[in-house]
Chain A
């Protein structure tokens, strides 16, 4: 038994103790048990999940704890005793922390003190679940035993597998295998084959035509939202992914598009009732122009300022839309009702199926344009400006102008998404344009793969589609987003489907590449 094993166990134990306490305090232990039940085919509905699933959840947690505690002694020259003792210490410490919390809250609950005034998520039921329905002392001792044993088992598991259980390497292996399949000879030759491509295209087209008719209103709604977020992601990708300028308040342009469109077509504040297509084009134009106006004074300054100014712009837009000052003009906090749907040759189509088609067409058009832009001179200029502005200027690129163009185009795409969103909901109001929309878009672009078009599709489906399937985690979604952003930036800043860069760039050693854009640090 060495001190390094002891220390690694204690450190892991503290971290996992904090995690389990936080999970308990935000009520995630109940959700964890519910999810465990769901995966094992038991749907507990709105009632508390049975205690056996909570035991499973705790065992899984202990296994995770033990395997990560065993990680450091495993990678070093130490023996199996070190790994096991590290897992044991980690489990013991986590168990003690968990037991103390269980004891405190169990005693409080036994004395009929409701802590929900201060800690809203700690309900008597969740305390009861945590104690497995037993008395505080027995329950907390059981949780201690459970965590210790399962952590030891986790360490043993890591030891027997003898693999590196590091999250990063697992991440790398999974995505590596995926990318490997993507670029393997069979897939590449299949994608090069003309007939195969044609067949695939036909299959996809048939699916896109048939599916909206068959899968019903709910899925049309969910996937319509996903489609609108794909458009938003593709738009944000222009300025953030290619030109490398972070725009936090992207929702401002979304709002400009939605409101321009709605004001022109709705009967309420102005009774303009223009044609759908004219209003759509004007909405896109208005959003694009607002992007140019914001970019004009800011884009020649340091990059972070654009992030903050757009954030400010988003808040200004939302506050203005809600204010009394603008109420006669924009209908104030109540929003605009009866926004028009599209018409073609006099036939209006506003059913969800028709709208799904419209969104699919819009997504295809924007995707096509994005691909054309990516391979154009302009697109390459953006990437050049992103990678090294000084060098880009030296090669004759007008950095300011190309960034401005990127922001304008990006804002215009947001305007398109906003107009479609307003038209589909037949309503738009200030609450549709919360900052969270923009944060969602940033998340999906980054998680999917910044600068990469298929990555954005993946990100939109993962971030807007998955939460619909996993309804339990609805209220934890933003929390998970936050953690996801931090972890992504640490482990895989280029996203799940990273953009493919030109071969020349790949050959440069990564250290040299990062040094150009970061601070020189300690090792100099």
Chain B
């Protein structure tokens, strides 16, 4: 495809691409320099705070982004409904917490105690189990009902189906649970205000338990996924299908099964991200999946779509960029959502194949 392109406009574009990149990075360096070194609007502890919240957010983005990248790598489709899968997982976690809050578990010391606070570890494990189960099932059945019949259809049709599924799931959740935001009440040991306090340049910085919990859990899940993809037989089958479906089929790989399980795995990760969203952010409604979904897709493109380490890196980077971006560039904090989309456009202009490069099979390049 590259060799045929000879239109003058494209040639110009190709030659100015690095130039645009250099210009933009120079501009960014200048903004960063003037904000951090010259103007000093924020002290060091604020930067640490931003960086931390960026890492935590980045962990969730990375989990969702892996789902996009896995599916894109195998089916070459943007699973537009993936954010909604995460939202369903978040609702699963929320309802588990609410249910456990109503179950009394009185002890002699505290007759008012409920299950959620009496056995918080079990409650959290249960919430994750329920959230992950719901998301995994949603992903699995989404593929089975909506995408499988269209395996041979053009990609535009698949994308429109995915948009339809996204609208459907979002509105179903709204009609079921109502449009207003719901507060998630955590077990007392994971209280959102609690955490360790460290001193940075004389000011206290709170490292919340929920944040550390999310960060550790998302890292563990990512390591687990990496081992699954790189070290197991199923992972090898998955990589084979991503590389070349026909050859994989000839080698005895059950392609349909691999695709089903890929959706299942991406649902598991999205569900975990959803319950983390419950625990760390504390607000749930039908709309929470939309923006994180699109941002996670951005992260996947940024790292190089189809590339699992790329999605992890992209997610983390995007989380950090989004939280320190407004302060570092000296713009309004309302505009933090704009940063993610601007990053997407910039990546596509400067390096369309992403930071670590795309890993796609020949046929779709």
Contacts and interface: CB of A to CB of B under 8 A. Distances in A.
Are A and B part of the same complex?
yes
Interface string B276-297: 0000000000000001001001
Contacts of B146: 486, 490
B348 interface: yes
B245 A521 contact: yes
Given A297-B349, A393-B4, A521-B152, A248 B76 contact: no
A521 B254 CA distance: 11
A275 B251 CA distance: 70
A245 to B, nearest CB: 8
Contacts of A478: 167, 170-171
How big is the A interface, by class? 35 or more
Nearest to B76: A519
A316 B160 CA distance: 22
Contacts of A311: 294
B150 A309 contact: no
A325 B331 contact: yes
B168 interface: yes
Contacts of A309: 344-345, 348
Interface in A19-55: 22, 25-27
Contact of B156 (A26, A246, A313, A320): A246
A481 B5 contact: no
Contacts of A319: 334-335, 337-338
Interface string B2-23: 0011010110010000000000
A121 B176 contact: yes
Interface string A290-307: 000000111011111101
Contacts of A400: 5, 7, 9-10
A308 B345 CA distance: 9
Interface string A499-524: 00000000000000011011111101
Contacts of A490: 146, 149-150, 161
Contacts of B4: 390, 393-394
A521 B146 CA distance: 17
Contact of B176 (A119, A240, A307, A515): A119
A238 B85 CA distance: 32
Nearest to A519: B245
Contacts of A398: 7
A482 B80 CA distance: 12
A91 B159 CA distance: 35
A374 to B, nearest CB: 19
B229 interface: no
Contacts of A244: 156
Contacts of B255: 521-522
A493 interface: yes
A118 B98 contact: yes
B151 A519 contact: yes
Most buried by A among B159, B171, B291, B342: B171
B95 to A, nearest CB: 7
A319 B7 CA distance: 36
Contacts of A390: 1, 4
Nearest to A439: B167
Interface in A467-507: 475-476, 478-479, 481-486, 489-490, 493
A439 B4 CA distance: 35
A295 B91 CA distance: 38
A69 interface: no
B120 interface: no
Interface majority SS on A: helix, strand, loop or mixed? helix
A305 B348 contact: yes
Interface in B87-115: 95, 98
A367 B78 CA distance: 33
A308 B294 contact: yes
A518 B245 CA distance: 12
B78 A304 contact: yes
Contacts of B155: 303-304, 517-518
Interface string A406-434: 00000000000000000000000000000
A255 interface: no
A121 B294 CA distance: 29
B42 to A, nearest CB: 19
Interface in B299-350: 301, 331-332, 334-335, 337-338, 340-342, 344-345, 348-349
Contacts of A118: 95, 98, 177
A293 to B, nearest CB: 10
A439 to B, nearest CB: 7
B338 A520 contact: no
Contact of A514 (B5, B152, B159, B169): B152
A324 interface: yes
B150 A489 contact: yes
A325 B294 contact: no
Interface in B240-297: 245-246, 249, 255-256, 291, 294, 297
Contacts of B5: 300, 400
B154 interface: yes
B168 A308 contact: no
Nearest to A121: B175
A481 B167 contact: yes
Which 3 A/B pairs are nearest by Cβ-Cβ distance? Answer: A485-B164, A482-B168, A312-B341
Interface of A: 22, 25-27, 118-121, 240, 244, 246, 248, 296-298, 300-305, 307-309, 311-313, 315-316, 319-320, 322-325, 389-390, 393-394, 398, 400-401, 404, 439, 442, 446, 475-476, 478-479, 481-486, 489-490, 493, 514-515, 517-522, 524
19 contacts: A22-B172, A26-B172, A240-B156, A297-B345, A300-B13, A305-B352, A325-B331, A325-B332, A400-B10, A439-B167, A442-B160, A476-B175, A482-B167, A484-B164, A486-B168, A489-B161, A489-B164, A517-B155, A519-B151
Given A479-B172, A514-B154, 15 more contacts: A118-B95, A301-B352, A303-B156, A304-B77, A305-B301, A308-B78, A308-B301, A309-B345, A482-B168, A482-B169, A485-B163, A489-B150, A490-B149, A518-B155, A521-B245
Interface of B: 1, 4-5, 7, 9-10, 13, 75-78, 95, 98, 146, 149-161, 163-172, 175-178, 245-246, 249, 255-256, 291, 294, 297-298, 301, 331-332, 334-335, 337-338, 340-342, 344-345, 348-349, 352, 363-364
